[in-house]
Structure 1
């Protein structure tokens, strides 16, 4: 399973690459951990891969999943599910905390 660094995510965003950034937390936590341009698909609601496919329209588009921080494992679980379902997926393990620590804004 692939992971992605803060630097690589910054590059994808700055170059307007065609990818989907998905926060895997519930709606309440999404509002506190929203990286700009991310969407919220909570892993806890079930049918996660189906909901991601509905949002992306294809399994070939890069999907980057993230949650709150290194201590949060929902994005790792989500990445594993998507990888097993055949998606091009990368886990941003540092999550919103690493994004903020790098001086990047959260969309609050």
Structure 2
């Protein structure tokens, strides 16, 4: 699994606005705030929901969760790879790193 940091994610967002951001936290945490443009697929639901919600297996997908200590995004990335997704990246810092850079969340 390939990991990325905040600077890489911001650069990709500027150059490739079609990146799909996936917040892997529970719906309540997603509702409290998520990275702009992100969709919510809880890590435990990836195997069931990804084929319907992420139909392009070659699309660039960036998964994240709360922080570098959160394991949900890593599990989701592994599950997406098992389903055949080829461009999956784990934004390790998650919401905590995003906010530490002075960036805002959507609500």
Q: TM-score, length-normalised on structure 1?
A: 0.89
CA RMSD of aligned residues (A): 1.4
Query: 1:90 maps to which residue?
Result: 89
| Aligned-residue offset at 1:84 | 1.9
The CA deviation at 1:32 is 2.7
Helix, strand or coil at the partner of 1:31: helix
SS of the equivalent of 2:74 reads helix
1:5: how far off? 1.2
| Native 8 Å contact 1:33 1:68 kept in 2 | no
Kept after mapping to 2: 8 A contact 1:33/1:67 = no
Q: Within 2, Cα distance between the matches of 1:100 and 1:14? A: 18
Unaligned runs of at least 5 residues, structure 2: none
Residue 94 of structure 1, CA deviation: 0.5
TM-score, normalised via structure 2 length: 0.90
Map of 1:17 onto structure 2: 17
Between the aligned partners of 1:34 and 1:62, the Cα distance in structure 2 is 18
Instruction: Specify which of 37, 54, 79 is matched with residue 56 of structure 1.
Output: 54
Number of the residue aligned with 2:37: 37
Structure 1, unmatched stretches of 5+, are none
Distance 2:48 2:60 in 1: 15
Which contiguous aligned blocks of 4+ residues in structure 1 show a shift greater than 6 angstroms?
none
SS of 2:17's equivalent in the other structure is coil
Structure 2 equivalent of residue 4 of structure 1: 4
